[in-house]
């Protein structure tokens, strides 16, 4: 069966890139992924689909490599997840964060403009561009107020996508994504830190976990749901300025602990200690929580996995990774019976 469309995913080795690659393959796409020239072995998150995708070497710092990637793949769609995704790291490397996360967007847009202006472009923006928001919940009209180098760089990329759409007529859309988690989330993020620790404690591999502020709250959704929204943005007749993608629900770190440990029949208060070194001050203003009305109305999108279901999914996957009696497979990264796991024939 011939491929229906071609997609180039920049940052394919990350959480979102790997989920999107699977999602597109099931819809009959030919999938290419841009990885840095310095990358070594096949990325872990992609090993189960390694024979179905093609990796292209390139770097967001190198304009010529991006031009070559666009010319070589001739993509119908480009999805950009490239750049720093861990906020503390952006404080340690603000200049590099700006080069990859901000200027990398411009280089990609230039490659598309010069070589394949009909290509549709998705820019992964972030709720961090709202920073300390002036209102809650936030939507596409909420004023931007980034508070860290990552948020500032993301805002630059967000605005440049707008300028290229308005100035050059490119089909360029940004998704203002709130926190989205999965079993593929990096271990440095608090949700995965908790689910991994809970699984390790249940198996007798660990005895405790140190955390910072348990009252910190976020709008947490499932990454698999969010890549569906990204794809829908590029299937519209005309590009919208941007879409907020969020659950509209706030949950605390304490809530994550409650669900994760209860799923394993454990009392987290017996295992978790609060470390003042890890504490971050809580903002007194409105919380970061999104209102995804535009996505619901224009795209027909809504989350399919609840907060509790997401945390339990992550715990189960971490248990399987740690327990040699359980064979870990990528299928554990998706909820059983997910409506997103459809074939290209079902999607038509």
pLDDT of residue 160: 97
pLDDT of residue 283: 53
pLDDT of residue 267: 97
22, 128, 181, 249: which one is catalytic? 128
What average pLDDT does range 245-274 have in this prediction?
97
pLDDT in tens, 7-17: 999 999 999 99
Whether the per-residue pLDDT at 347 is higher than 60: the answer is: no
Q: Which of 12, 19, 83, 11 is nearest to 221 (CA)?
A: 19
What average pLDDT does range 318-338 have in this prediction?
89
19, 79, 150, 226: which one is catalytic? 150
Q: Is residue 116 part of a domain?
A: yes
Q: 70 and 194, same structural domain?
A: no
pLDDT of residue 65: 96
Q: 233 and 146, same structural domain?
A: yes
Output the domain CATH number for residue 16.
3.40.50.720
Q: 314 and 226, same structural domain?
A: no
pLDDT of residue 337: 83
pLDDT in tens, 110-164: 999 999 999 999 999 999 999 999 999 999 999 999 988 889 999 999 999 999 9
Question: What is the count of structural domains for the chain?
Answer: 2
Q: Is residue 11 part of a domain?
A: yes
Structure tokens at 321: 């990774």
Active site annotation includes 126:
yes
Q: 167 and 271, same structural domain?
A: no
Q: 119 and 54, same structural domain?
A: yes
Q: Is residue 296 part of a domain?
A: yes
What average pLDDT does range 186-193 have in this prediction?
94
Q: 83 and 41, same structural domain?
A: yes
Q: How confident is the model at residue 348 (pLDDT cuts 50, 70, 90)?
A: very low
Q: 292 and 327, same structural domain?
A: no
Greatest alpha-carbon span in the chain: 59
Q: Residue 312: what are its φ and ψ, rounded to 5°? A: -65, -40
Q: Is residue 135 part of a domain?
A: yes
pLDDT of residue 346: 43
Instruction: Return d(Cα 234, Cα 232) in angstroms, integer.
Output: 5
Q: 226 and 314, same structural domain?
A: no
Q: pLDDT exceeding 90 applies to what percent of the chain?
A: 78
Instruction: Return d(Cα 64, Cα 20) in angstroms, integer.
Output: 25
Higher pLDDT, 324 or 269: 269
Q: How confident is the model at residue 38 (pLDDT cuts 50, 70, 90)?
A: low
Q: 211 and 167, same structural domain?
A: no
Q: pLDDT exceeding 70 applies to what percent of the chain?
A: 92
65, 126, 174, 242: which one is catalytic? 126
Output the domain CATH number for residue 329.
3.90.25.10
Q: 191 and 168, same structural domain?
A: no
Q: 213 and 148, same structural domain?
A: no
Instruction: Return d(Cα 119, Cα 7) in angstroms, integer.
Output: 9
Higher pLDDT, 85 or 198: 198
Q: Is residue 278 part of a domain?
A: yes
Least confident interval from 40-44, 96-100, 309-313: 40-44
Prediction pTM value: 0.93
Q: Is residue 345 part of a domain?
A: yes
Q: 262 and 144, same structural domain?
A: no
Average pLDDT, the chain: 91
Active site annotation includes 128:
yes
pLDDT of residue 208: 94
- Could you tell me the residue range of the domain that residue 257 belongs to? 186-218+251-284+309-348
What average pLDDT does range 159-187 have in this prediction?
97
Q: Is residue 1 part of a domain?
A: no
pLDDT in tens, 61-105: 999 999 999 999 999 999 999 877 666 676 777 787 788 899 999
């Amino acid at each position: 069966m011939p491929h229906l469309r071609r997609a180039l995913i920049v940052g394919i080795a990350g959480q979102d890139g790997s989920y999107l690659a699977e999602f597109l393959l099931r819809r009959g796409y030919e999938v290419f992924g841009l990885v840095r020239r310095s990358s070594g072995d096949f990325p872990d998150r992609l090993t189960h689909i390694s024979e179905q995708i093609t990796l292209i070497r390139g770097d967001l710092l190198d304009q010529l490599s991006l031009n070559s990637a666009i010319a070589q793949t001739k993509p119908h769609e480009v999805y950009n997840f490239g750049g720093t995704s861990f906020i503390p790291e952006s404080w340690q490397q603000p200049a590099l964060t700006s080069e990859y996360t901000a200027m990398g967007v411009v280089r990609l847009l230039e490659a598309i403009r010069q070589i394949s202006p009909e290509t549709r472009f998705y820019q992964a923006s972030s709720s961090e561009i709202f920073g300390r928001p002036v209102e809650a919940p936030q939507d596409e009209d909420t004023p931007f107020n980034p508070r860290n180098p990552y948020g500032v760089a993301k805002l630059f990329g967000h605005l440049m996508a707008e300028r290229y759409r308005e100035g050059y007529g490119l089909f360029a859309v940004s998704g203002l994504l709130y926190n989205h988690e999965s079993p593929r989330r990096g271990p440095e993020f608090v949700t995965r830190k908790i689910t991994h620790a809970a699984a390790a404690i249940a198996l007798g591999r660990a005895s405790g976990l140190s955390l910072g502020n348990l009252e910190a709250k976020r709008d947490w959704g499932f990454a698999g749901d969010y890549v569906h929204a990204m794809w829908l943005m590029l299937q519209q007749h005309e590009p919208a300025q941007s879409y907020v993608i969020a659950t509209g629900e706030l949950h605390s770190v304490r809530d994550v602990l409650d669900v994760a440990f209860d799923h394993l029949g454990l009392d987290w208060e017996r295992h978790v200690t609060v470390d003042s070194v890890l504490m971050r001050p809580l903002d007194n203003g409105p919380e970061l929580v999104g209102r995804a009305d535009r996505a619901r109305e224009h795209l027909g999108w809504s989350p399919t996995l609840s907060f509790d279901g997401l945390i339990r999914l992550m715990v189960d996957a971490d248990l399987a990774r740690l327990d040699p009696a359980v064979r870990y497979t990528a299928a554990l990264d998706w909820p059983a019976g997910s409506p997103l796991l459809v074939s290209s024939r079902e999607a038509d």
